[in-house]
Amino acid sequence: MFVWFAAIPLLPLLAAIFCCLLIARRNKTKLPAVLVVGSLALSFAVTVLGFWAWIDQGKDPINPQIYEWIGVSWGSEPGQSLTAQFGFYMDGLSWLWMLFVTGLATLIALYASEYMGHDVGKGYGRFFAAFALFVFSMACLVMGDNLFLLYLGWEGVGLCSYLLIGYFFQKPSAVAAAKKAFIVNRIGDLGLAVGIFLIFVTFGTVEYGPLFEMVRLGVDAAGRPLDGRWQEWVIPCLLMIGAFGKSAQFPLYVWLPDAMEGPTPVSALIHAATMVTAGVYLIARTMPLFLLDDTHFALTIVAWTGTITALLAATIGMAQFDIKRIMAYSTVSQLGYMFAGLGVLTSTGACFHVFTHAFFKALLFLACGAVMHGFAGQLDLRKLSGVQGMPGWRIVGLTMLVGCLNLAGFPLITSGYFSKDMILAQAFTTPGDTIWGSQWIGWVLLLTAGLTAYYTFRVYFRVFVGPQHFEPGDELHAEEDSHHGEHGEDQAEVHGVGKSHEHFHPHPPGWAINAVLIILALCSFLAIPTYFVMPEHHGWAGSMVHSSTAIVESPGAHHVEGADAEHLGTFLGYDPHKAMYYVSGIVGFLGIAVAFFLHLAGRASAATSRADALLPMLGPIPRWGQNKWYVDEFYEAVIRLPLWVLATLFHWFDQLVIDGLVNLFGLLPRLFARAIRPSQSGVLQGYAVGMAGGLAVVLIIVLIIMGRGG
Amino acid sequence: MPTSLSNLVLAAESPIGPLTLYHFLFVSAAMFAIGVIGFVSRRNLIIMFLCTEMMFQAAGIALISFGRYHLNHTGEVFVIFVLTIAAAEAALALALVVWLFRRRATLDAAAWGEMSG
């Protein structure tokens, strides 16, 4: 069977290989970008074609197998062999993910071709090689038909993330951030790996088809029922740890804000839109395993972890000044929403939020990146103001507004509003005896929605509107100057005075950046109608989830009446699905209004606003939030420091005891040699005396023996 | 010392009376001792070389004496070999001495003492 949509992962892989060849040939052109954008666009086209073909044949999972990737057997019994095909499992979930992964990757690669322009001939090829390799890995993760292929992609995206965070490898902070991301992800990956092993031990297979068939029947490899056995809750818990690491959830979220050290397109694609949703994908994909446990132990933890993460990250985001970092914390927070959605049994809501979030968060990051690019790396919202009014920045400002409205959940006109609603409403609907404390989850998420609206518009009102003011960042370099040279008379000034701030001119983004921003803004609007089509599945994303392994019969999803309805939770006595349209809209609106009052109304300068007057009333809390609730310091003291002490002890043990023993054995021959070395006096006569004396001694001994014997 | 050593006459005609093996061995031992003392006490390479030659000859006298004493030619044959080897070795040793002298412009053996421990 010729699997033509195998081109989806293969095209980016080929592009990555060609980029490596170009690096080896010392290519100094924009060819890598052309190659990667072209191959990703083709890959997206193939995805769309494959998607239509899949719809045409009736939305059944396609499970083509290309070749046997791993095949080991140690007996003829079932469960005594391990096979993993290099094959694809294409159902609604895979297509949903692949559509936005390849589509966004194409757009962001186009954006990066301009954004990374300073590095043509230096890191340009390296950037695009890793970028294309990332799309290949992500495609393996999403399209693979077994957990091993998923794990390959999982580690592949982790590697590409590491390479791209550490792209500016001369910068110590970037190197540290890359290492942090890699090491924190290892903790999650350990959980995933052990989870996969346990799945193999329990079910005897890692391939989705047979695995989910067995899960459906509720039996293990030997045909025994799984009901009530420990595997039922241990397997989902282990998979959950893997998802927490990759998707930056509460104990393991600390790497994601630091990952903003990478170039902005990387933050947009990998650390906002696609890779960090791999955890959501994993849980959605293995949803049957999570639902196996009637007590929903793992799902309750998922729901609560997501909720805590959402609130915690939102509170940190409120106190930050670096706009890219605020976006990073909002990503963590929105990922928390998705996990809460999965936990309260609306995989539809979670996947729809992944889908809408991918567009508007990529948009937000790319708009912030355009600002950072134009103002020489300036990201501090106290040093930028009124950017939207400056010449050439209108598109960036307006698209940023679209992104902010989406993130804030502005009613009716934004897709973020509908996807967030779905999760909030389901949190109130799902009864507390199914998921413990689901009502509380709803209330916390509602509070978080208000905070999100506030900190999102804090950025917009501070940076994009208000009095015009800017201070450039510290990334002024030669390429930046030559850009200004195009403006003619600026050239003499810039080169004459050097790098002083008075002569800095922000350079507005070019066509590639503006085009990508506009397309993404349009996409985030186009996601709204998908909510209204196919109402029986709660929108297009819902229909995709419905024809995949992620399907969950959400409690109350079909407006049950009578006795069953009393089971369900309510929102203060109203139907949550209806009430939430108003309530979350009002909450979002309130957040925006507060941000308007505190950060725009009456603001005369970039550095201060009305909010500053409020800070003393809150005591030390804003400082704690600005310091990220000291979570990094806590990890430093509780995990890193003990490990450091232990490692230092081992180091000294190794130096003193192990090396000491080895050195001692080396020392013995030297000491012996030192004792007998003076006999080599270098005086010829001395040797002669030695020889004669030795001979005399031998003679005397012989004579004595003969004298006795004789 | 066995009595036969002093009894068997090896050479009857001599100014000090009949000579026994004892006399010959005494000469041999004296020469060897003079050679050793010379080798140890002098630092001139040529003198040291001559001393080694003297020790050779001492050994040769002892061998010939024993050959005569046992009434066979083994000792004499041995001495012929020793002389041949000594001649070759003398050529080699003198060449070395000449070479060493050219390197340091001195015949002092102490000039070559840097291999001390």
pLDDT at A476: 59
- What gap in Å lies between CA B49 and CA B56, rounded to an integer? 11
The pLDDT tens digits of the residues spanning A539-550 come to 888 889 988 888
Q: Would the pLDDT of A624 be above 80? A: yes
Question: Where would I find the H helices in A460-489?
Answer: 478-485
Question: Residues of B numbered 40-99 whose beta carbons fall under 8 angstroms of chain A's beta carbons: which are they?
Answer: 40-41, 43, 48
Instruction: Check if B34 contacts A (Cβ < 8 Å).
Output: no
> For B55-77, how does the pLDDT look when each residue is reduced to its tens digit (9 = 90+)?
999 999 999 999 988 888 999 99
Which candidate, A643, A388, A223, A301, places its Cα nearest to that of A651?
A: A643
Q: Which residues of B touch A688 (CB under 8 A)?
A: 36, 39-40
SS3 (DSSP) at A506: coil
- What distance in Å separates the CA atoms of residue A176 and residue A179, rounded to the nearest whole number? 5
- Among A672, A684, A699, A703, the strongest candidate for a mutation testing the B interface, having the largest count of B CBs within 10 A, is A684
pLDDT at A521 (0 to 100): 94
If you compute the radius of gyration of chain A from its CA atoms, what whole number of angstroms results? 32
Instruction: Using the predicted structure, report yes or no on whether residue A481 has a pLDDT greater than 50.
Output: no
B109, A685: Cβ pair inside 8 Å?
A: yes
Token match 């920045």: residue?
A393
Q: Which residue of chain B is at minimal alpha-carbon distance from A684?
A: B109
How far is residue A342's CA from residue A289's CA, in Å, rounded to a whole number?
Answer: 13
State the pLDDT at residue A557: 62
Give tens-digit pLDDT for A357-410.
999 999 999 999 999 988 888 888 888 888 888 888 999 999 999 999 999 988
pLDDT at A322 over 70: yes
Minimum-distance CB partner of A683 among B39, B41, B110: B110
Q: Which pLDDT value is given to residue B117? A: 66
Contact between A427 and A441 (Cβ < 8 Å): yes
The secondary element (H helix, E strand) that includes residue A460 is: none
Q: Which one of B37, B39, B47, B114 makes the best mutation probe of the A interface by having the most chain A beta carbons within 10 Å? A: B39
Contact A36, A145 (CB under 8 A): no
Asked if residue A221 lies in contact with residue A227, where contact means CB atoms within 8 angstroms, the answer is: no
List of long-range contacts for A23-31, beta carbons under 8 Å, 24+ apart: A23/A125, A23/A126, A23/A129, A27/A121, A27/A125, A28/A120, A28/A121, A29/A120, A29/A121, A30/A113, A30/A117, A30/A120, A30/A124
pLDDT category at A636 given cuts 50, 70, 90 is confident
Q: Kindly list the residues from chain B whose CB atom is less than 8 angstroms away from the CB atom of residue A681.
A: 113, 116-117
How do the domains of chain A map onto residue ranges?
295-473+506-559+566-626, 629-679, 684-710
The count of residues in chain B is 117
Tens digit of each residue's pLDDT (9 = 90 or more) over A232-284: 899 999 999 999 999 999 889 999 999 999 999 999 999 888 999 999 999 99
Q: Are A681 and B43 within 8 A, CB to CB?
A: no
Res. A594: pLDDT tops 80: yes
A677 vs B contacts (CB less than 8 Å): 117
Instruction: In chain A, count H helices and then E strands.
Output: 31, 4
Helix (H) / strand (E) element for A467: namely: none
Q: Which of A677, A685, A692 sits opposite B117 (nearest CB)?
A: A677
DSSP annotation string for A359-370:
HHHHHHHHHHHH
Q: pLDDT tens across A649-670, in order? A: 999 999 999 999 999 999 999 9
Measure A659 CA to nearest chain B CA, in Å: 29
Task: Kindly report the nearest CA distance between residue A662 and chain B, in angstroms.
Answer: 26
Query: Is the CB of residue B46 less than 8 Å from the CB of residue B97?
Result: yes
Contact flag A681-B48 (C-beta cutoff 8 Å)? no
Quote the minimal CA–CA distance from B81 to chain A in Å: 23
**In the prediction, which pLDDT does B4 show?**
55
Whether the CB of B2 is below 8 Å from some CB of chain A: the reply is no
Answer yes or no: is pLDDT of A72 > 60: yes
Q: Would you say residue A585 has pLDDT above 80?
A: yes
Q: Give the Cα separation of A597 and B104 in Å (integer).
A: 100
Q: B38 to chain A nearest CA, in Å?
A: 10
Identify from A672, A685, A689 which residue to disrupt to test chain B contact, counting B C-beta atoms within 10 A and taking the largest count: A685
Gap between the Cα atoms of A350 and A422, Å rounded: 8
- Locate the chain B residue with the closest alpha carbon to A678: B117
* Beta partners for residue B36, in sequence order: none
C-alpha distances (whole Å) from A358 to each of A52, A197, A528, A655, B47 are 22, 31, 14, 51, 101
Domains and CATH numbers, chain B: 3-107 (1.10.287.3510)
- Long-range contacts of residues A159-162, Cβ cutoff 8 Å, at least 24 apart: A159/A133, A160/A130, A160/A131, A160/A133, A160/A134, A160/A270, A161/A134, A161/A185, A161/A259, A161/A266, A161/A270, A161/A271, A161/A275
Would the CB atoms of A679 and B115 count as touching at under 8 Å?
Answer: no
Predicted complex ipTM: 0.81
Q: Rounded distance, CA A153 to CA A176, Å?
A: 24
Which pLDDT does position A482 carry in this prediction? Answer: 43
Amino acid present at A246: K
**Which stretch, A436-450, A481-495, A680-694, has highest mean pLDDT?**
A436-450
Which has the closest alpha carbon to A61: A102, A100, A84, A94?
A: A94
Q: How far is A686 from chain B (nearest CA, A)?
A: 8
Q: How far is A665 from chain B (nearest CA, A)?
A: 22
φ, ψ (nearest 5 deg) of residue A226 = -90, -5
Q: For residue B115, which residues of chain A lie inside 8 Å, CB to CB? A: 680, 682
- Stretch A472-487: mean pLDDT, rounded? 53
Range with the poorest average pLDDT among A43-47, A345-349, A532-536: A532-536
How far from A694 is each of A689, A697, B39, CA to CA, in Å? 8, 5, 16
Integer CA distances (angstroms), A420 to A12, A333, A410, A414, A555, in order:
33, 12, 10, 10, 18
Closest residue to B115, CB basis, from A680, A689, A692: A680
Residues of chain B contacting A682 with CB distance shorter than 8 Å:
112-117
pLDDT band at A574 (very low <50, low <70, confident <90, very high): confident
* The token pair that represents A119 in the structure block: 């590095």
Residue A70 has pLDDT above 80, yes or no: yes
**How much is the mean pLDDT over chain A?**
88
3-class SS at A88?
strand
Q: How far is CA B13 from CA A616, B9, B25, in A?
A: 136, 10, 18
3-state secondary structure of A86: strand
B117 touches chain A (CB under 8 A): yes
The closest CB to that of A685, out of B40, B114, B117, belongs to B40
8 A C-beta contact, residue A203 and residue A221: yes
Residue of B nearest to A675 (CA): B117
Answer yes or no: is pLDDT of A198 > 50. yes
Do residue A688 and residue B115 have CB atoms under 8 angstroms apart? no
CA B55, CA B88: separation in Å to the nearest integer?
Answer: 16
Interface contact A684-B109, CB threshold 8 A = yes
Least CB–CB distance from A682: residue in B41, B48, B116: B116
Residue contact A681–B36, C-beta within 8 A = no
Residues of A with CB under 8 A from a CB of B: 676-685, 688-689, 692
Count of all residues that appear for chain A in the document? 710
A678 neighbourhood in chain B, CB within 8 Å: 117
- Check pLDDT > 60 for residue A494: no
| B116 vs A676, A680, A689: nearest CB | A680
Q: How many CB pairs (< 8 A) connect A and B?
A: 36
- Secondary structure class of A605 (helix, strand, coil): coil
Element (H or E) spanning A699, and its range?
Answer: helix A684-709
A679 contacts in chain B (CB < 8 Å): 117
Q: Distance from B102 to chain A by nearest Cα, in Å?
A: 19
SS3 call for A258: helix
pLDDT reported for residue A564: 55
Ranking A141-150, A495-504, A522-531, A587-596 by mean pLDDT, the lowest is A495-504
A684 with B114: Cβ contact below 8 A: no
CB neighbours (10 Å) of residue A180?
Answer: 20
Helix (H) or strand (E) holding A317: helix A297-319
Q: Tell me how far apart the alpha carbons of residues A602 and A79 are, in angstroms, rounded to a whole number.
A: 71
pLDDT at position A502? 57
> What are the residue ranges of helices labelled H in A486-575?
490-497, 511-526, 529-532, 540-546, 563-567
Assign residue B14 a region: left if phi > 0, alpha if psi is -120 to 50, beta otherwise? Answer: beta
Residue A315 has pLDDT above 90, yes or no: yes
The pTM of the full predicted model, rounded to 2 decimals, is: 0.79
B26: contact with A, CB 8 A cutoff:
no
What count of Cα atoms within 13 Å lies in the side-chain half-sphere of residue A404? 27
